[in-house]
Amino acid sequence: MPSVLGLLEAREKKVREEVARLQEEAERALRRLVDARATVAEVLAEPPSVVEEPHRGSAAGSVVPHRTDGMTVSVLAPDYQRIVSVLESEAGREGMRCQQLARALGLQVVPAKVEGLRSKAERLVERGWARQTGPGVFIALVVSAGCGHRGGVRPGGRS
């Protein structure tokens, strides 16, 4: 039969090993936190760098950029390019309502599609790619190269 003192010594040894293991684990976690804090402090101390995005064709669902001089519709997402193309067409020269725009784009003329187009057309207006000529009537401001006139001003002085 083992002695009580022998049992206590064995138990003490196991507890000391567990304490050493936990202490080592805690020190590793502390080192990671100190390193992370040092890295963040280093990054925050650096002057901010400005990364300018190149003006390329956008992907579907991308944000509509604010129009500036020299920008072409190719920087717009394909859905927006199609809308501008229809607004630039002969049918869209006098302005189009969203239901007409939906038909011209081959979409179903249902509230969900029409409201989606209205949202996109309004975004084009906000960003300088189109304008509203009346409540819910949209017209292109930008005319693609080769259409005979520029900047949305048509022959005869009307815009």
Q: How far apart are alpha carbons 72 and 54 in whole angstroms?
A: 13
Instruction: Quickly count: other Cβ atoms within 10 Å of residue 140's Cβ.
Output: 24
Average pLDDT over residues 31-37: 90
Buried b (16+ CB within 10 A) or exposed e, 21-55: eeeeeeeeeeeeeeeeeeeeeeeeeeeeeeeeeee
pLDDT greater than 90 at residue 91: no
Average pLDDT over residues 43-66: 62
Q: Which pLDDT does position 90 carry in this prediction? A: 83
In percent, how much of the chain has pLDDT > 90? 21
Q: What is the pTM assigned to this prediction?
A: 0.51
**Between residues 120 and 93, the one the model is more confident about:** 120
Q: Which pLDDT does position 12 carry in this prediction? A: 96
Query: Which residues neighbour 127 within 8 Å (Cβ) at sequence distance 6 or greater?
Result: 64, 65, 66, 67
Return left, alpha or beta for 151; rule: phi > 0 is left, psi -120 to 50 is alpha, else beta: left
Q: How many angstroms separate the first and last alpha carbons of the chain?
A: 106
Q: How far apart are alpha carbons 12 and 2 in whole angstroms?
A: 15
Provide the angle, in degrees to the nearest 10, between the axes of the packed helices 111-126 and 78-88.
Answer: 80
pLDDT greater than 80 at residue 142: no
